[in-house]
Amino acid sequence: MKFTAFTRFHEQQGAKMVEFAGYWMPVQFEGVNAEHETVRNGVGVFDVSHMGEIWISGPRALDLIQYITTNDASKLTDGKVQYSCFPNGQGGIVDDLLVYRISDGLYLLVVNAANIEKDWNWVMLQGERMGLKAGKDMINASDDFAQLAVQGPLALKAMQKLTGESVEDMEYYTHKTIEFAGVKDVLFSTTGYTGSGGCEIYMKKEVAGEIYHAVFDAGKEFGIKPIGLGARDTLRLEMGFCLYGNDINDTTSPIEAGLGWITKFADNKDFIDRALLLQQKQEGVTRRLKGFELIDKGIPRQHYPILNETGEAIGEVTSGTMAPTLRKAIGMGYVKNGYWEPGKEIFIEIRGKALKARIVKIPFYQR
């Protein structure tokens, strides 16, 4: 079991702690619904130190990233961030990730906590084939970082108090290395997985405590609160954001998962599974990840069968919840071709009963 630089603070605040991806993490403090609304309407703080960080550097850094990710990293300029995924060579997804361009020949890959070792081995394997060296051109720095996600419509306003750099006007998916809360070389990124705005702050572990306290002091006038993994999941699901291990995995392709927008078939980009994914884009796929809302009363959960009107299985739920902001039961799942048009009536099997639902466009929630 691993602990983050903030674990003791969570326990002091009475968090309900659980094991998650090998880390001892807070699942909730005040309660999932209350924490969800704090982020939607104000500002909340997540400990996301369990995420993984991999540095790629040198003259072939971009070549490697272009080959192992689906998005077109050649479009990145200094200070930009890109959402992408690693195709696995068999039509599936190793992981989804963020790609940060720090400078020419220096990139940071941010990957999911549960996949750090898997992703690092994958990056090393492909990089070494291209002549990059682990420990030099490729560095797994996951244990060096602490990270806070400060999310919500008041997040940047609160965090502006801690730096002389302008952060309130930063564009979405950009980053700066700044002095923050009196600490130099803090990576400040306008990213997050809640759909409510805000930032993610990367820091060295040694300074994590002082930054944590400064963040909460700065946000006090805005009602800042700590937020757990439970609300992180309901927030991302209202946005229709994929969660690795639920909505995407080694058996789902980015085209099936609705991630065609991060799968770029640029002339200058030869990447793993390019031919297969291009064929799927051109010829279509037999299933797609789609959003739905329940009409009948119930809550959909992962692995619940999706049925048609005759009771035939046409898919499976990958994520589901009672959405706190929307006050309705929503979910996502892979559905067979012919059943995924918006408005299409489907059924979710819950405890032996077929409950009526309908396909809807995502995101479910819009600011």
Answer for the pair 305, 335: CB distance below 8 angstroms, yes or no. no
- Cα–Cα distance measured from residue 4 to residue 68, given in angstroms and rounded to the nearest whole number: 29
Determine the pLDDT at residue 222. 98
Tell me the whole-structure pTM to 2 decimals: 0.97
Same fold, 52-140 and 286-360: no
CB 258 within 8 A of CB 280: no
Sheet holding 44-47, edge to edge: 175-180, 183-189, 198-204, 145-151, 44-47, 225-226
Distant-in-sequence, close-in-space partners of 361: CB < 8 Å, separation ≥ 6? 291, 342
Give the pLDDT confidence score for residue 367 in this predicted structure.
77
With H, G, I as helix, E, B as strand and everything else as coil, classify residue 219.
helix
pLDDT of residue 366: 87
Q: Which CATH code, of 1.10.10.60, 3.40.605.10, 3.40.50.720, 3.30.1360.120, is assigned to 7-51+144-238?
A: 3.30.1360.120
pLDDT, one tens digit per residue, over 279-320 is 999 999 999 999 999 999 999 999 999 999 999 999 999 999
Place of tokens 């071709």: 337
Check if the beta carbon of residue 47 is closer than 8 Å to that of residue 148. yes
Instruction: Domain ranges for the chain, please list them.
Output: 7-51+144-238, 52-140, 286-360
The list of the chain residues with pLDDT below 50 reads: none
Opening angle at CA 199, ends 195 and 201, nearest 5: 140
Per-residue confidence (pLDDT) for residue 151, from 0 to 100: 98
Q: How far apart are CA 177 and CA 167, in angstroms?
A: 11
Q: Which residues contact 8 (CB under 8 A, 6 or more apart)?
A: none
Fold held by 52-140: Alpha-Beta Plaits (3.30.70)
Topology annotation, domain 286-360: Elongation Factor Tu (Ef-tu); domain 3 (2.40.30)
Q: Which 3 state secondary structure label does DSSP give 310? A: coil
